Chain A
Amino acid sequence: MKETEFIIPVGPQHPALKEPEKFLIKVDGEYVVDADVRMGYNHRGIEKAMESRTYLQGLYLVERICGICSCAHTTCYTQCIEEAMGLEIPERAKYIRVITAELERIHSHLLWLGIAAHEVGFDTLFFYIWRDREVVMDLLELISGNRVHYAMPTIGGVRRDIPPEKVNEIKKGCNVLEKRTKYYKELILNEKTIHNRGDGVGVLTPKEAVALCTVGPVARASGINTDVRADDPYLVYDEIPFNVITYDGCDVTSRILVRVDEVLESINIVRYCLDHMPDGPIRKVVSPLMRVPEAEVVSLVEAPRGELIHYTRSNGGMKPYRHKVRAPTLGNILAVCEMLKGGYIADVPIVIAGIDPCLCCADRIAFVDVNTDKRWVWTDEQLRRYGVKWYQQNS
C-alpha cells in the first residue's frame, strides 16, 4: 500500500446502504484504487428453517426473505412446488400472479429511482418519485390488502381475485403512473446534473458483465439481452407482448434509464393482463399437509432485480429436504467491485446502489479456506460454538 492510500470502510452501517454490508474502499485522495466486499451481516438461516416447516408454512417464510420483491420469491417458490407436485394452476390465477408481479416491479423500480436520486444528492427528485410510488402501493393494497407482503400467490393458485370494479381502479392508477414516469424519464434525460453524476460512472463492459454473471437490469444496462420472462417464459409471459429493454451505455445513467423504461413496459403488461384475463376459478385447493412426491426442481423468475432461482429437493415427505435460494443481488455483487475501481469516492454510493442491492435476499453463509481450497457449511449451532470458543481463546 502506498503512503498516500488509505482504506475507507463503507459499511456495515453507512447512510448510503439501506442494509448492513461492508465495502472496503482503498482510496488515494479522491480516487478509488481498489474495492473489496464483505457479506453476511444479514444472515437469518432461512434455508435451514425451511427444512423444518411444511410446504405451506415455507411459503410464508419465503415471502419474508425480502420486503420489496416478496411476490417474486413466492411466485418462484410456488412454481417450484407446483412443478414438483405436477399441479397445473388455473389460467386466471396465472394472470393475477403476473399483475401482482408487474405492479411489484413498478414499485421496486420507482423505489430504486428515488434512492438513486438521493445518492447523487438530488433529494427533491427523491421525494417526488416516492410520492408517486404511493399510487402503486395503493393499487397493491387494493388487490391484496397489504402494502408490503402481498401474499397473493399460494400453492395451487392465488389467494384473492381481482373483481371487475377493481380492474378500473387499477387502470386509472396505471394512467397516473404512466404520466408521471414519462415526466421523470424526460427529466432524467434532460437534467444536466444527473448526467454529470451518471455518465461514464461505474462502467461495466458487456464482456465483464457476462464474465461476472450479472443479471437483470444491471446486465441489460450493459447491452446484454437477458430476461427470464422472455428467455424462459413462465406463467403467461409467452402470451404477453413486451419488449426487453436494453441500453448500451454500461454506466449508471443506463441503469437508471433501463429501470424507467421497464416501469413503462410493466404498466403495459398490467394493462394487457387486465384486458385479457380469462374468467374461471383462481385456485386449486390443496391440503395444507400435502406431501410432495420425490423430486428435484429448479424454478426461475425475473424478479425486479434480476434472475431469481429457487431450488427445492423433496424426498416425498411433508417438508422439503433442501431448499436453496439464489437471489439476483448475489449475481450482481461481484460486479460492484469491478465498477468501483478507477472511480471517485463520490461515485461509490451511486455505484453500489446501481445494482439495487437487496442483501437480506443474498446473505447465505458458507466457508472457504483460501489456502487449502476446502469448502464446508456449518449449521447455526456449530457456528455458535465456534464463535464462543474463538472469543474464549482470543480475548
Chain B
Amino acid sequence: MVSTELIIKIGQILVFPGFLFLIFYALFAEWVDRKFFARLQNRIGPLHTGWKGILQPLADLIKLLAKEDITPEAADSVVFATVPIILFAIPLTVMFMVPIIGPKAYISFEGDLIVILFLFTLTVLSVFMAGWGSLNRFGTVGGLRTSLQMLSYEIPMGVAAVGPAILAKSLSLSGIVAWQGRSMSLFLENPTEFSLALGIAKASVLALGFGIFTICMLAELEKVPFDIPEAETEIVGGWQVEYSGKKLALLRLGGDIKLVAASALMTSLFLGGPLGPWPIPPALWFLLKTILCVMIISNLRALFARYRIDQMINWMWKNLVPLSLLYILAIELMAVLM
C-alpha cells in the first residue's frame, strides 16, 4: 500500500522543492541576473520571449538541446561526456541540503556544511577535468586557471562559512538557520541593552563574513571580475570552448543552479534562510532573499573590469585571507563571550 506520506515525499523530491522547482527557479534566477545586469549597463536585456523576456533562458536551453552535439576527435570522450552531468548534479545535490520550505532541509545531518564545501571544490575539479579533457589549447589554459583560482579563494570561503557554524555550535545548515531564528526570537522576547549590543556586534562581524563569502562566491561562479577561466576576449570561453548542443545546455543549466545554490548558501548562512520577521510562507522568504543575493552578484559584476590571474591570486592571499582570519578571531571572541 502506498501511503500518502510516501507520495508527498516523492512529490517533494520531484516537484517542490525538488527537481522541477529548482530547474525553473534557476532559469528564473538567470533571467533576473541578465535583466538586472542589462539595466545596470543601460541595455534592455531579454525582451521578446514571454513577459519582458522571462522565458528567454528556457528558450535558450531548448535551442541548445536541439543543436548538434560535437565531441572533438582528440578529446577524452568519457571525461568530456561525464563532466556536464557532474556539473549539473552537484549544485542540485547542494540544493537538497539547503532549508527551503522550513527551517529543516530535505537532507540534513550534522556536518552537511562540510559536505557542501567539499561539493563546491568538486565542481572546480570537474571544470579542470573538462578543460583538460577537451584537449583544446584554450580549454587547457582555462582549466589551469580554474584550479589556480580555487587555490586562492577556497580558504577564505571555508573560513567565512564556518563563522556562523561556530556561533550556532552546529555544522549543519539547518542547525545554523534554526539558531538564527532562535536568537532572533530570544532577542524579541527580552530586548535588553546588553542583548541589543551583543546582537549588533554579532551582526557586524557576520556582515564582514557575508562580504568575504560573496566575493568568494563571485570567484566560484566565475563572474566578473573573476571570470578569468572563461574570459571570452582572452581565451574564447576557456574550459567550455569545445562544448556544444546538449552538453552545453546541461553546463549552462548547471551554472544557473549553481548561481541559485550560491545565493541559497549566502541566504542560509547569513540571512536567516527561510525564516523572517513577518508571517509569510517560508518558501517565499527564501525566494525573496535568494533573488536579493542574485541581484547583489549581478551588481558586483557590473562594477569591475576582469582581474588577471596573477593579480587575483595576489589580491586574495594578501587581502582576503588575512581579513578572513581576523574575522574568525572575532567570531571566536564572540563565542567565548556568549
Taking CB atoms and an 8 Å cut-off, the chain B residues in 193-233 that contact chain A are 224-225, 227-228, 231-233
Tell me, yes or no, whether B311 is within 8 Å of chain A by CB. yes
Which chain A residues border B311 with CB–CB below 8 Å? 196
Contacts of B304 in A (CB 8 A): 121-122, 193
Within 8 Å of chain B (Cβ to Cβ): is A71?
Answer: no
Contact B306 A122 (CB under 8 A): yes
Scan A97-141; emit 1 where CB is below 8 A from any B CB, else 0. Answer: 000000000000000000001111111110110010000000000
In the complex, the answer to whether A348 meets B306 with C-beta atoms within 8 Å is no
Complex: A19 Cα to B222 Cα, angstroms: 28
Interface residues in A, total, Cβ within 8 A: 33
Q: What does the 1/0 interface line of A3-46 toward B look like (CB < 8 Å)?
A: 00011110000111000000000010110000000000000000
A347: CB under 8 A from chain B?
yes
Contact among B42, B137, B141, B232 with A15 in the assembled complex (CB-CB below 8 Å): B232
* Closest B residue by C-beta to A132: B42
Known contacts A8-B141, A121-B225, A197-B306: does B234 contact A346 (CB below 8 Å)? Answer: yes
Instruction: Please indicate the chain A residues that have their CB under 8 angstroms from the CB of B40 in the complex.
Output: 124
The answer to whether B233 and A127 have CB atoms under 8 Å apart is no
A345 touches B42 (CB 8 A): no
By the criterion CB–CB under 8 Å, are B305 and A117 in contact?
Answer: yes
Nearest A residue to B306 via CB reads A121
Confirm or deny: B308 has a beta carbon within 8 angstroms of a beta carbon on chain A.
Answer: yes
Judging by beta carbons under 8 Å apart, are A197 and B41 in contact? no
Which of B42, B137, B144, B233 is A16 in contact with, Cβ under 8 Å? B233
A233 / chain B contacts, CB cutoff of 8 Å: none
**B234 contacts A194, C-beta separation under 8 Å:** no
- In the bound complex, residues from chain B placing their C-beta under 8 Å from that of A122 are 224, 304-306
Q: Interface 1/0s, chain A 348-363, versus B by CB < 8 A?
A: 1100000000000000
Which residues of chain A have C-beta atoms less than 8 A from B110's C-beta?
none
Q: Judge whether B305 and A120 touch: CB under 8 Å.
A: yes
Shortest beta-carbon distance, A167 to chain B, in Å?
29
Give A37 Cβ to nearest chain B Cβ, in Å. Answer: 18
Distance in Å: Cβ of A395 to nearest Cβ of chain B = 21
Given A30-B309, A197-B308, A349-B233, also A124-B303 (CB < 8 A): yes
A8-B138, A15-B233, A121-B225 known; A128+B42 contact, CB < 8 A: yes
Alpha-carbon gap, A127 to B138, bound state (A): 27
Closest to B225 in A: A193
Whether, in the assembled complex, A344 has its beta carbon less than 8 Å from a beta carbon of chain B, the answer is: yes
Chain A hits for B227, CB < 8 A: 121
In the bound complex, do residue A16 and residue B234 qualify as a contact, i.e. CB atoms below 8 Å apart? yes
Cβ of A17 to closest chain B Cβ, rounded Å: 10
Interchain CB contact (< 8 A) of B305 among A7, A29, A127, A197: A197
Q: Does A191 contact B (CB under 8 A)?
A: yes
Across the interface, do A127 and B231 meet the contact criterion of CB distance under 8 Å? no
Name 8 A/B residue pairs within 8 A (Cβ), A-sorted.
A30-B144, A120-B305, A121-B306, A122-B305, A123-B41, A128-B41, A346-B308, A348-B234
Please list the residues of chain B having a beta carbon within 8 angstroms of any beta carbon in chain A: 40-43, 137-138, 141, 144-145, 224-225, 227-228, 231-236, 302-311
For the A-B complex with A121-B233, A123-B302, A127-B42 known, give 12 more contacts whose Cβ atoms are closer than 8 Å: A8-B137, A15-B233, A16-B234, A30-B309, A119-B233, A122-B304, A125-B305, A127-B43, A131-B42, A193-B305, A196-B308, A349-B234
